[in-house]
Amino acid sequence: MNVGELERLSGVGRHTLRYYEQLGLIAAHRQANNYRSYSEQTVIDLAFIQSAQSGGFSLAEIADILAAKRGNTIDCAQGAALVASKMAEIQAKITTLQAAYVFLDAERAKLEASAIANGLTIPDLPAI
């Protein structure tokens, strides 16, 4: 399939496709007219890339995973360990963000109390 068809099937723009190609995430075959041609596997790879990015994996991590999948050097147990590691990383970020939220909420409450004590009007803020 050509780049336009791949764009329509995957929802990924041509500039991103070229970037992914430069990174080795996907491969294009050159036709006689030097146009890029993509296989059905590319659509599958793009879906994986999008899912992995949604799961918090960087493009570099995704490149490593795809290389391991393509070379059959990763098994399900290793994949599960990789996902568990990413989950732990995300949980640590959540914990850090929750602590920041608690701190900011306490500071906001102090500032609002001070404003009320000084007769100031507190503007309505969007609900969280």
For residue 67, give the CATH number of its domain.
1.10.1660.10
In 1-128, the DSSP E strands lie at 29-30, 36-37
Same domain assignment for residues 111 and 52: no
Residue 55 lies in a domain: yes
- How close are the terminal C-alpha atoms of the chain, in Å? 46
Same domain assignment for residues 68 and 86: no
Please check the confidence at residue 125 and state whether its pLDDT lies above 90: no
Residue with tokens 């970020």: 93
Same domain assignment for residues 63 and 9: yes
pLDDT tens column, 1-19: 999 999 999 999 999 999 9
Predicted TM-score (pTM) of the model is: 0.78
pLDDT tens column, 66-87: 999 999 999 999 999 999 999 9
- Cβ pair 62, 49 in contact under 8 A: yes
pLDDT tens column, 76-124: 999 999 999 999 999 999 999 999 999 999 999 999 999 999 999 888 8
Same domain assignment for residues 41 and 88: no
Same domain assignment for residues 69 and 10: yes
Same domain assignment for residues 42 and 84: no
Domain that holds residue 2: 1-73
- The mean predicted confidence, pLDDT, of the chain is 94
Same domain assignment for residues 53 and 81: no
What is the number of structural domains in the chain? 2
Distances (CA, A) of 72 to 17, 76, 79, 119: 24, 11, 12, 69
- Cβ pair 10, 46 in contact under 8 A: yes
What was the pLDDT predicted at 7?
96
Same domain assignment for residues 50 and 15: yes
Residue 128 lies in a domain: no
Residue 127 lies in a domain: no
Please check the confidence at residue 47 and state whether its pLDDT lies above 90: yes
Same domain assignment for residues 35 and 96: no
Same domain assignment for residues 55 and 66: yes
What was the pLDDT predicted at 124?
82
Going by pLDDT thresholds of 50, 70 and 90, the confidence category of residue 126 is: confident
Q: Which residues contact 45 (CB under 8 A, 6 or more apart)?
A: 25, 26, 66
